[in-house]
Copies of this chain bind each other. A is one copy, B any other.
Amino acid sequence: MTEPDRNAELALLLEVAGTPKPGNVDRHRDLDDLRFEHFLAGAVGARDGLDLAASGAAVGPAFERAVEGMAAQKGGNTQFGALLLLVPLVRAARDDLSQPVVESVLEGTTVSDAAAFYRSFEHVDVFVSEPPETMEPLDVRRGADAIPALEDRGLTLLDVMDRSVPGDDVAREWVTGFDRSFTAAERLAAADGPILERTASVFLSLLAERPDTLVAKRSGEAVAAEVTERAAELHERDAVETDREAVEAFADELVDRGINPGTTADVTAAGLFIALEHETITL
């Protein structure tokens, strides 16, 4: 069996290659300053951190290392959210990649993991919203400066994620036992065709279900809702298979409008990892 850190890296590569993934960088689309090759370099750069997680390191430091390595390319943030899902999954896969084991990994996170998470924001610009006033001392954009406040309140990384919901569907995975990630893995296994087609279908199915929280943060909730509605219409008629042109046109339109459902891509990457690890998809 392949080591979990290998599968995690491969999941990142398959995710970005899956096409059409409306609004995101994919095999056939670049954004202005964020290109396909930045994701390739980001996936390779994340290796050290993923290796650490697979070796049993704590989630926070492994994540920080993964982000630092990922960010060693000029495209900026490529896979921050995906790594925030993959690192605990890789850690769990050392034992057994099941929802209960993942939950126990999350519950085992400490204040020190939370501190590493905050430090990771110093390696790369991540798009985040203004926090509510009571959370201002814990604004992630403060980076390591927020660590004393974190320690005062005794917040673990799981606590931090808990406070980031609603409004962040990566954090939501942390508090729901990675429900959508495991669902995505099942859909990938059940789908037909080459893996990059399946990836596109599953991405669309996820986008059809819940408004993407990155889109909501950047473009507003109305836009996020519109994107989900249109994705649902395409997904209902299985358009990746039956009307490819419509999905391609939707993908181009979202890229043109600068609307990137990045959170949905993160969950897709997590699903790919779970399916690879469970060997329900093989290449």
Contacts and interface: CB of A to CB of B under 8 A. Distances in A.
Interface of A: 2, 6, 9-10, 13-14, 17, 27-28, 35-38, 40-41, 43-45, 47, 72-75, 194-196, 282-283
Nearest to A16: B40
A40 B28 contact: no
A43 B43 CA distance: 12
Which applies to chain A's interface (DSSP): helix, strand, loop or mixed?
helix
B74 A37 contact: no
A40 to B, nearest CB: 4
Nearest to A13: B40
A105 to B, nearest CB: 23
Contacts of A38: 283
A74 B10 CA distance: 15
A37 B196 contact: yes
Contact of A283 (B2, B10, B37, B194): B37
A38 B196 CA distance: 11
Contact of A74 (B27, B75, B283): B283
B6 A44 contact: yes
A47 B6 CA distance: 9
A194 B28 contact: no
Given A36-B27, A283-B74, A41 B194 contact: no
A55 to B, nearest CB: 14
Nearest to A10: B44
A3 to B, nearest CB: 9
Nearest to A199: B37
Contacts of A43: 13
Given A2-B72, A74-B283, A283-B74, A37 B17 contact: yes
Contacts of A75: 283
Contacts of A45: 2, 6
A194 to B, nearest CB: 6
Contact of A36 (B41, B72, B74, B196): B196
A17 B41 contact: no
Given A10-B41, A10-B44, 16 more contacts: A2-B45, A6-B44, A6-B47, A9-B44, A10-B40, A13-B40, A13-B44, A14-B37, A14-B40, A17-B36, A17-B37, A17-B40, A35-B196, A38-B283, A40-B283, A74-B282
